[in-house]
Amino acid sequence: MAKTKLIQVAAITFAVFLAGCASNDVAETSGAETTDTGTEMEDEGLGDLTLEVEQQDPVEMDTSADDEMADAVTSEFMDLLDQTLIYFDFDESAIRSEFRTVLNAHAMNLAANPNMSVVLEGHADERGTREYNLALGERRAKSVADYLMLRGVAASQIDSVSYGEEMPLALGSTESDYAENRRVEIVYP
């Protein structure tokens, strides 16, 4: 229950950040700047720039759009956190670009919740020796850990383990089976 509340706090923080990134409207007119009171001021050196600021009585502000946006962002954020498998190319430990958004969400969640931790489980397909696959799983887990730490997650929040080829998701010898087994699993204890 506490973990869910912490995740919700991180998602709301993300939504507030996005809402704060909205820009003011800027319109061009001839030689005057409009202040927030609606008066015009001549300003030498700024050219023909007018800033239009719309004032709204705080009592009349419609917050339903903000609430809908926060709910949508929270939902998207939670969907990203539900994705806990990061896949790798054959014999590679580089993070594929399609998994960066997922890892960014996990990093934001962990950075916002310093008491939370994660275990990164590295895996490999069955090709190669046992020792090589253990080392490859370790490199993959380390790659994900490094990515998370570059985005603000403390090293003390991350544990890594390599299972090599010992815990496959797919039991087969096709390329799609191998691709499913080349992964890092993100586990919240």
pLDDT digits (tens, 9 = 90+) for 121-146: 999 999 999 999 999 999 999 999 99
- Report the distance separating Cα 161 and Cα 163, nearest Å: 7
Say what the alpha-carbon torsion angle 130, 178, 92, 188 is, to the nearest 10 degrees.
-80
Strand partners, 41: 33
Residue 170, token pair as written in the block: 């797919």
pLDDT in the model for residue 112: 96
Average pLDDT, integer, range 57-73: 65
Beta-strand (E) ranges in 9-114? 26-28, 33-34, 40-41, 49-51, 85-87
Residue 67's pLDDT is: 75
